[in-house]
Amino acid sequence: MKQLGIPLAGLAALLIVLPLNGQPTQAVIRIDTNRVISEVHPYVFGNFAEHLGRCIYGGIFEEGSPLADPEGFRKDVMAAVKPLGVSVLRWPGGNFASGYHWMDGIGPRDLRPARPDHAWGALETNRFGTDEFLRYCERIGAEPYICINAGLGTVDEARQWVEYCNETRPTYWANQRRKNGREKPWNVKIWGLGNEIDGPWQLGHKNAEDYAKFALEAAKAMRRQDGTISLIASGSSNFRPDADWIGWNRTVLERLKDEIDYISLHTYIGNRNNNFEEYLGANAQDIEERIRIVKGQIQAVQSTQRVRRPIYIAFDEWNVWYRTLQGSTEYEIAQTGLEERYNFEDALAMAIFFNAFFRNADVVKMANLAQLVNVIAPIFTNKQGLFLQTTYFPLIEYGKQRGNLSLDVQAVSPTYRIGNRPPIGYLDVSATYSPKDRAVYVNVLNRSEKQDIATRIENLVGRLGSEAEVWEMNHSDLKAVNDFGAERVRPATRKAALTLANNGFTYTFPRHSLTILRLSVQ
């Protein structure tokens, strides 16, 4: 998308250029359904469940709870998860993965060993393991994505995990799976070659060369076990000024380019300076920039592949996380359980991620919100029930656009500057098209705290229908939060009659709001 910024000085000229129906407009969005970037891959609506705090135990899984079913899964949580349409679920971590030995988590639950979890300083009972996870995926209709232990684990342990899950012949590990109640293979297609191995906080942290050697051998052994699996390399997620994240990716991509299908990227953001426009502007710029840099790196190594094969970005951890990211060690951080309470502005932050994923739909082919329940999550439980956090609602609405074609939409809006960064438009826009439904979705975040922005929306191909379906998230209090029995922040929906002129119309996007317009095009 061309997100063209116009300096405030240029705004006066624009006001003269774009008056429509007597109403001055300050911005323009041009939709052309011929300008397709790529399909919005359904895996962009993935999620992540780690053995951390109350995500698994007390979230997804709570044996003995009156709210749990006979398999131990919380029924209320499952009912809240289903509307999210989680396409792919990543497990068991995260940092946890780098110290996890999967063989501890199979067989009769009472015989499984309890182990110290040195990623987060917890006690792992192993009552939830591979079979429970894969069963949960079946129940919610998600594709499982297992991240191997590339920290303290071994290549053969990873290969045997694939054998346990996918082998059809009567081998040792396939027979163990059968003994544990699962005759047919789980057929796990997506495997991660470790988590954040570039981070010094990671158990078994390695330099890029050592990681690449391990990952290459793991990939070879895992693929010999099952040649149909997809593999995700651990890209860098260490954006600290002293870390060479670009160098890490370069080495990993060069060494693994003939083996991998994706390279991962992680980003957590926060409103640390309590500055709304900076929060939604600077982070949007960073996300876009990181995607573009990794895309360029992928293109560079692809030109030297033995046989051309695509490599995509799996943005397999993303979210708002800063309130509970205090402390100098992971053990300290874990004290909070990472139980972030999201407010209204955090719900708007979901848009800067999705808009960036959509605008880069040709390369971002998977994304996993971190995480599903309680731990930096859209669903929050206690023993008696749950409530939906503010961030829950945009996830559902954006999720309706899976499989649509992302459009190279042109958006021009008044700009502002954050420090010495380049100017950024107040409107953050993406658009998708469903040829089947002949519907265009226009996703517009107005990140101005003070200004409503009247916008001319023009459609270049096909005739616009005279009505729009409007989904809007807005609240007078940027800091408003939801709670048990008090879901104050929720979206509003309505139908809007459009006054069409020259196959376009004017729509005013309210200050600090997220609007998704569904337009019909004939």
Backbone φ and ψ of 337, nearest 5°: 70, 5
Given the complex with ligand AHR, which of 181 and 241 has the nearer CB atom?
241
CA-to-CA distance for 148 and 158, rounded, in angstroms? 6
Site string for ligand AHR, 368-407 (x = CB under 6 A): --xx------------------------------------
Active site residue 62: no
Helix (H, G, I), strand (E, B) or coil at 278: helix
Helix (H, G, I), strand (E, B) or coil at 258: coil
Given the complex with ligand AHR, which of 116 and 403 has the nearer CB atom?
116
Active site residue 163: no
Helix (H, G, I), strand (E, B) or coil at 316: strand
Q: Does 94 bind ligand AHR (CB under 6 A)?
A: yes
Q: What Rg value do the Cα atoms of the chain yield, rounded?
A: 23
CA-to-CA distance for 449 and 82, rounded, in angstroms? 33
Of 215-244, binders to ligand AHR (CB under 6 A) are: none
Given the complex with ligand AHR, which of 183 and 242 has the nearer CB atom?
242
Minimum gap (Å) between residue 368 Cβ and ligand AHR? 10
Task: Please state, in angstroms and as integers, the Cα–Cα distance from residue 72 to each residue in 63, 111, 332, following that order.
Answer: 4, 17, 29
Minimum gap (Å) between residue 415 Cβ and ligand AHR? 33
Minimum gap (Å) between residue 50 Cβ and ligand AHR? 5
Which residues does 140 contact at the CB level (< 8 Å), separation at least 6?
78, 81, 82, 86, 89
Q: Does 93 bind ligand AHR (CB under 6 A)?
A: yes
Residue nearest ligand AHR, Cβ-based? 94
Minimum gap (Å) between residue 466 Cβ and ligand AHR? 45
Of 32-51, binders to ligand AHR (CB under 6 A) are: 50
**Residues binding ligand AHR: what is the number (CB under 6 A)?**
9
Q: Report the length, in residues, of the chain.
A: 522
Given the complex with ligand AHR, which of 117 and 288 has the nearer CB atom?
117
CA-to-CA distance for 185 and 195, rounded, in angstroms? 25
Among 33, 130, 195, 455, binds ligand AHR (CB under 6 A): 195
Pick the piece of the chain touching ligand AHR (CB under 6 A) from 89-97, 162-170, 244-252, 432-440.
89-97
Q: Does 259 bind ligand AHR (CB under 6 A)?
A: no
Of 289-328, binders to ligand AHR (CB under 6 A) are: 317
CA-to-CA distance for 148 and 131, rounded, in angstroms? 15
CA-to-CA distance for 47 and 85, rounded, in angstroms? 10
383, 76 contact by CB (below 8 A):
no
Q: Does 86 bind ligand AHR (CB under 6 A)?
A: no
Q: Does 99 bind ligand AHR (CB under 6 A)?
A: no
Given the complex with ligand AHR, which of 322 and 498 has the nearer CB atom?
322
Pick the piece of the chain touching ligand AHR (CB under 6 A) from 34-42, 92-100, 148-156, 389-397.
92-100
First to last CA, the chain: 23
Give me the numbers of helices (H) and strands (E) for the chain, helices first please.
11, 25
Pick the piece of the chain touching ligand AHR (CB under 6 A) from 87-95, 245-253, 483-491, 505-513.
87-95
Catalytic residue among 317, 340, 397, 458: 317
Helix (H, G, I), strand (E, B) or coil at 64: coil
CA-to-CA distance for 174 and 492, rounded, in angstroms? 50
Percent of the chain that is helix, strand, coil (3-state, to 5): 30, 30, 40
Catalytic residue among 196, 288, 397, 458: 196
Q: Does 196 bind ligand AHR (CB under 6 A)?
A: yes
Q: Does 117 bind ligand AHR (CB under 6 A)?
A: no
CA atoms 182, 186, 192, 196: torsion sign: negative
Minimum gap (Å) between residue 47 Cβ and ligand AHR? 11
Q: Does 95 bind ligand AHR (CB under 6 A)?
A: yes
356 exposed, middle or buried (CB, 10 Å; 0-12, 13-18, 19+)? Answer: buried
Q: Which residue has the tokens 């209204």?
A: 344
Pick the piece of the chain touching ligand AHR (CB under 6 A) from 29-37, 91-99, 157-165, 272-280.
91-99
The residues that are catalytic are: 196, 317
Residues lying near ligand AHR in the complex (CB under 6 A): 50, 93-95, 195-196, 317, 370-371
